[in-house]
A and B are shown apart, each in its own frame.
Chain A
Amino acid sequence: MSARFLPRESLPALVAALRDGRRLLGPRVRDGAITFGELEHVEDLPIGVGDEQSPGRYRLRARADERAFGYAVGPTSLKETLFPPRETLFRAERRADGKVGFVAVVPKPEATAVLGARACELAAIGVQDRVFVQGAASEPRYRARRDALQLVVAVQCTSPAATCFCGDAGTGPRVYGDAADLIATEIDAGLVLEARTEEGAQLLDRLPTRAVADDERVEAERDLDAATTKTHTGRLAIEGLPERLFAALDHARWDEVAARCLACGNCTSVCPTCFCSHAEEAGATAGALEGRSERERVWESCFSSEHGAMHGANPRATTKDRYRQWLTHKLGSWVAQLGTSGCVGCGRCTTWCPAGIDLVEEARALGDGQVSAVALPDAPPPCETPRDEDLVPRAAEVLAITAETSDVVTLHVRDHGVAAEPGQFLQLSLPTIGEAPISVSGVSRAEGFVDVELTIRGVGATTRALTALEAGMELGVRGPYGRGWPLAALEGAPVVIVAGGVGLAPLRGAIRALVEAPDRFPDVRLFVGARTPEDLLYPREMITWLERSHVKLTVTVDHASPGWRGHVGVVTRLLRRSAIPEGARALVCGPEIMMRFTSDALVAAGVTHDRQWLTMERHMKCAVGFCGRCQMGPHLVCRDGPVFRRDELALLGREGF
C-alpha cells in the first residue's frame, strides 16, 4: 500500500476518526511523565514535549518543534490496558451449610483505539499474547480486552532514548508486519502514514491526506535510519544469550548487582512483558463458615519475598537469587518457556531503576561466557486451539473424610469435571480463604461424575480449612492440571517407586494402576519412607498391595515408636541394600532434598536419569502458566510438570531456583 501524508494541522481529523465510537488511548503528559491515557483532543498529546532517559533518570524536556510523538517511551505501556494491575477474576460465596458458589467476572471492555504505540510496545503485546492466549489455555479477560483493541496506529520511534536498544532486541524502531493497522512516521510537517491492514486502509481513506512529497519521504526515512542506528547499540548479542546466561549462574557479578539492587520491583512494574501475578481473596466478609469474597489478581514481582514462596519459604531466598531469576527469565528461560525473549529493548527497566542498574550492561557482562551445560528445552509451539480457561472453580461436594494422620486427611470429593490422570493436580479453594494446589491421590470415574481422593496436609490457612471440611460441605475445584506419571513408559519394565512422607499421595494413583495390571507391570517395588509409623499414609491399603505377588513393599521410618518392628532409617538406605533389577524405571515423590538423594541412590543402583521421574513442588497459583509463580529455571512447573523426567531437571538441588 502506498504511503500518504497527513499535514500536522489535520491531526484533529485523525483523533476524531479514531474516536468514532471508540475510546482512544494515547500518550499524555501526566505527573511529569508521558503515559498512556484517554485522549479527547489533539491538545491532549504531548506536543512539543520530549524526554531524556538514562539509567535511573527520566526527565521531560521541551522540544524546539511541535512534534506530538517526539519522545521515546514513558513508564507505562499497553500492558496496563490489556492486563490491569488489579482485577477481579470471580466472586465467591459460601453459605452457612457449607455450600459454595462461584461467578466469573469477565469484563466487557468498550471498543478501543490506540494512537502512538511504539514498535517495542507492539512487540510486547505479542509476547504477552504468548502467555495469555497462545498457550494451552486462553485467558478470557485478557482476550476480551485484546479483542476490544480495534484500531492501532503505531508511530515509529525517531526519538530513542539513551536506554533504548530495540534494534539489538530486533523489535524496532520500525514497525514490522501487521502489528498495527496504520503506521505513522512523524516529521516536522506531519505524519507519513502507511496502512498495514484492511481496517487501516479504511481509516486512511477517511483522512484528509495527500501524496507524500519526496522531501517528506526522505526526511522520514532519514530520521528512522538514525533511530535504527542509535538503537542498534551493539552492546547486547541476543543470539545464544539464554545458554550463555545459564552458563553464568555462579558468576561473581550476581553478587555485585544484588548489592546494588533494592528489590523494589520497579523494573518488573514498568516492563511491558512481565506477567507475574498473585491472586488473593479480597473484600472478604466472613462469619464462622459463611462469607463472600472476590478473587483478585494483582501484579506481582519476582523481586517480592512472597512471589513463589511455599509454606512461607521462598526458594529464591535472597535478592541475588531474585535478580538472577529475573534476568535469566527475561533474557533466557523466557525463550524456553514461550518461544520468544521476554525483552523488547524498551529500556524502561533501566530508566526506572532507582539504583540505575542497566539491564544491557548486566546481561553483557554476565552473558560473556561459555555456552551452558544446562540444556534449555524448546518451547511448545503456540497452541492453535487453546481451551478457554476462566480460572473460576466449580463446586464439588465432600462425600467423606478419612483421617490419615494427626495433620493429614483424605477428602473424598464428587466432582463433575474431567477425571485426572495419576500425578496431575487440582486447585482446591474455599471462598474467603484461598486456593491451594493438591495432587490427586485417587480417581474413580462414573457416568456423569468423577469421585476424587485428595490427601491434604494442613500446613497453611487454606489447607487447614480444607482439612476441616465435613461430609456434605462443598469446595471449589479447578483442573486437572499438569503432566502426570508416564505410565505408558513403564510398561514391561521393572518399576521402582520411592515415596517420602505425604509424597505417597501423588503416587497412589500410579501405584493402584500398577498393582491392578500385573500383565503390564510384572515387577513393582515400592519403597516408602515416613517420619514416624504414625505418619504413614494408607497403611490398610498398603496391606492389599502386598497381597499381590508382583508387588514388593518396604516401609521405613526415620523415627521409630515403641513397639515398631519395621525398618528404621532414611528411605534412600533401602535402595542401597536392595538389588534394583536391570532396566528398572523409577518414580519418586517426596521433599526435594529426599528426591535429590534418592535420585543419586538410584543412579548408583544403575537407574540412569532418563529412567527416573520426579514430581516437583513449586507454588502453582494459577496452574495454567499465567502467573509465573511456579517457575523453576526453564520450566513452568504447573504446565511442564509437576512430573519431570530427571534429566529435564538440570537445576534440581541448585539453590535459588
Chain B
Amino acid sequence: MTVESHTLASFPGLATLPADALASIAALTFEERHRADALLFNEGDAPGDLYWIVRGHVQLTQRFEGRGTTAVLTLSDGELLGWSALLRRPRVASARALTETVLLRLDASALLELCEQDPRVGYRVMAIAFEEVADRLHATRLQLLDVFGSR
C-alpha cells in the first residue's frame, strides 16, 4: 500500500514541493517495517529501490576479503538509504537493520520516470540525493583523515 502525501512532506527536502508533485511521489512510495538484523540489500545486488528511513538504525557494511565484513556507516531517522538506485547501479554496500526499522521504499524505476516527466520532482529528488552524497563524501574524507588518530 502506498503512503499519503503528508508522510513524504515530513522529509525536509520534499516539504516545498507542490501537492500534486508530492502526490505523484507518494503513489510510488511504500512503507515497510523490518525487524532488527533484517538484511535490506546486499553488496553487489542488482539495482534496487531507494529508501528513506522513518525510524531506526541501518548499518552499511562492505566486504573486505581477508578482514571480514566491515561496518562503514550507520544511517538513521530522516536519512536517505540506497542512493545507487538512482543511478541504476548494483548495490555498493550491504544494508542491515540494526534495530526495528520503518522505511519508505520508493520504486526507483518509477521514480526516475517521474523525474524525467516532472522536472520539479526531478530537480528536487536529485538535489536531495546530491546533498546526501556530498555529505557522505565529506564525512568519508574526515574518516580517511583519521582525525582522532595520534600522529
A577 contact from B79, B138, B151, Cβ within 8 A = B79
| B149 partner, pick from A531, A567, A568, A569, beta carbons under 8 A | A531
A394 to B100, CA, bound (A): 56
> Complex formed: what's the CA distance from A501 to B149 in Å?
8
Question: Out of A313, A529, A568, A590, which one reaches B71, CB within 8 Å?
Answer: A568
Name the segment of A223-231, A554-562, A606-614 touching the other chain: A554-562
Please state if B68 and A562 are interface contacts (CB–CB under 8 Å): yes
A 526-549 binary contact with B (CB < 8 Å = 1; else 0): 000111000100000000000000
Residues from chain B with Cβ under 8 Å of A566 in the complex: 74
C-alpha spacing A362/B79, complex, angstroms: 53
Contact B76 A558 (CB under 8 A): no
> Chain B residues near A313 (CB, 8 Å)?
151
Determine if B13 is an interface residue (Cβ-Cβ < 8 Å). no
A560 to B60, CA, bound (A): 11
The chain B residue with its CB closest to the CB of A593 is B147
Contact of A568 among B74, B79, B142 (CB under 8 A): B74
CB within 8 Å of A: which B118-138 residues: 135, 138
Restricting to A561-617, which residues have a CB under 8 Å from any CB of B?
Answer: 562, 564-570, 572-573, 576-577, 590-591, 593-594, 597
* Interface pairs A-B: 9 shortest CB-CB: A501-B148, A560-B71, A531-B148, A567-B74, A570-B142, A568-B71, A570-B139, A558-B143, A591-B147
Q: How far is the CA of A457 from the CA of B57 in the complex (A)?
A: 32
Supply 30 A–B pairs (Cβ within 8 Å), ascending by A: A312-B151, A457-B150, A459-B151, A500-B147, A500-B148, A502-B148, A529-B148, A558-B142, A558-B143, A558-B146, A558-B147, A559-B70, A560-B71, A560-B72, A562-B68, A565-B59, A567-B76, A568-B73, A569-B73, A569-B139, A570-B147, A572-B142, A576-B135, A577-B79, A590-B147, A591-B148, A593-B145, A593-B147, A594-B142, A597-B142
The answer to whether A577 and B70 have CB atoms under 8 Å apart is no
A206 within 8 A of B: no
Q: Verify B139–A573 contact, CB threshold 8 A.
A: yes
Q: Are B77 and A311 in contact (CB under 8 A)?
A: no
**CA A457 to CA B150, docked complex, whole Å:** 9
B18 at the interface (CB under 8 A from A): no
The answer to whether A311 and B98 have CB atoms under 8 Å apart is no
**Is B90 interfacial (CB 8 A cutoff)?**
no
Interface residues of B in 56-102 (CB under 8 A from A): 57, 59-60, 68-74, 76-79, 98
Cross-chain contact of A565 among B70, B98, B139, B145 (Cβ < 8 A)? B98
Specify which chain B residues have a CB less than 8 angstroms from the CB of A20 in the assembled complex: none
Closest chain B residue, CB of each to CB of A535: B148
By a CB distance below 8 angstroms, the chain B residues around A559 are 70, 143
Q: State whether A568 touches B72 (Cβ < 8 A).
A: yes
Give Cα A559–Cα B149 distance, bound, in whole angstroms: 11
Residues of A near B148 (CB, < 8 A) are 500-502, 529-531, 535, 558, 590-591, 594
Name the A residues within 8 Å of B142 (CB-CB): 558, 570, 572, 593-594, 597
Give min CB distance, A529 to chain B, whole Å: 7
* A591 CB, min distance to chain B CBs, angstroms: 5
- Cβ of A564 to closest chain B Cβ, rounded Å: 6
Q: How far is the CA of A597 from the CA of B143 in the complex (A)?
A: 13
* A647: interface (CB < 8 Å): no
Q: Tell me the complex Cα distance, A167–B98, Å.
A: 73
B residues near A, CB below 8 A? 57, 59-60, 68-74, 76-79, 98, 135, 138-139, 142-143, 145-151
Contact B77 A531 (CB under 8 A): no
Contacts of A530 in B (CB 8 A): 148
A252 to chain B, nearest CB (A): 30
* B residues less than 8 Å from A576 (CB atoms): 135
Nearest residue, chain B, Cβ from A595: B147
Cα distance A573–B76 in the bound complex, in angstroms = 10
For residue A560, which residue of chain B has the nearest CB?
Answer: B71
Contact A564:B139 (CB < 8 A) given known A500-B148, A577-B76, A590-B148: no
Which chain A residue shows the least CB distance to B142? A570
Query: In whole angstroms, what is the CA distance A377 to B145 when docked?
Result: 33
Determine the residue in chain A with the shortest Cβ distance to B78. A577
**Is A407 in the interface zone, CB < 8 Å from B?**
yes
How far, in angstroms, from A418 to B87 measured CA to CA in the complex? Answer: 62
A567 to B58 Cα, complex, angstroms: 9
* Cα–Cα, bound, A577→B136 (Å): 13
Q: Which of A500, A573, A576 has the most CB of B within 10 A?
A: A573
Residues in B with CB closer than 8 Å to A597 are: 138, 142
Interface string of A205-230 (1 = CB under 8 A from B): 00000000000000000000000000
A591 to B150, CA, bound (A): 11
Contact indicator B57/A567 (Cβ below 8 Å): yes
A621 to B70, CA, bound (A): 42
A350 to B57 CA separation, bound complex (whole angstroms):
64
Q: How far is the CB of A536 from chain B (nearest CB, A)?
A: 10
Instruction: Report yes or no: A407 in contact with B139, Cβ–Cβ below 8 A.
Output: no
Inter-chain contact A560/B70, CB cutoff 8 Å: yes
Bound-state Cα–Cα, A566 to B98, Å = 9
A530 to B98, CA, bound (A): 20
Report B141 CB to chain A, min CB distance, Å. 9
Known: A531-B149, A562-B69, A593-B142. 10 other contacts (CB 8 A): A558-B143, A558-B146, A558-B147, A558-B148, A560-B70, A568-B71, A568-B72, A569-B74, A577-B76, A594-B147
Contact status B139-A531, CB under 8 Å? no
Complex contacts, A572 vs chain B, CB 8 Å: 139, 142
Note all chain A residues with C-beta closer than 8 A to B70: 559-560
The complex places the Cα of A459 from the Cα of B148 at a distance, in Å, of 13
Closest beta carbon of chain A to B97's beta carbon, Å: 11
Docked Cα-Cα span, A250 to B68, in Å, equals: 49
CB-nearest residue of chain A to B74: A567
Say yes or no: A570 contacts B143, CB within 8 Å: yes
Q: From B60, which residue of chain A is reached at the shortest CB distance? A: A568
| A residues less than 8 Å from B60 (CB atoms) | 568
A311 to B150, CA, bound (A): 9
Cβ proximity bits A454-469 to B, threshold 8 Å, 1 near / 0 not: 0001010000000000
Task: Determine the distance from Cα of A570 to Cα of B69 in the docked complex, in whole angstroms.
Answer: 19
How far apart sit A502 and B149, CA to CA, in the bound complex (Å)?
10
Cβ contacts under 8 Å, B72 to chain A: 560, 568
In the assembled complex, the Cα of A560 lies from the Cα of B78 at a distance in Å of: 22
Contact of B147 among A311, A407, A501 (CB under 8 A): A501
Contact B77 A569 (CB under 8 A): no
Contacts of B59 in A (CB 8 A): 565, 568
Which chain A residues (392-432) contact chain B, with CB distance < 8 Å?
Answer: 407
Q: Which residue of B lies closest to A532 (CB)?
A: B148
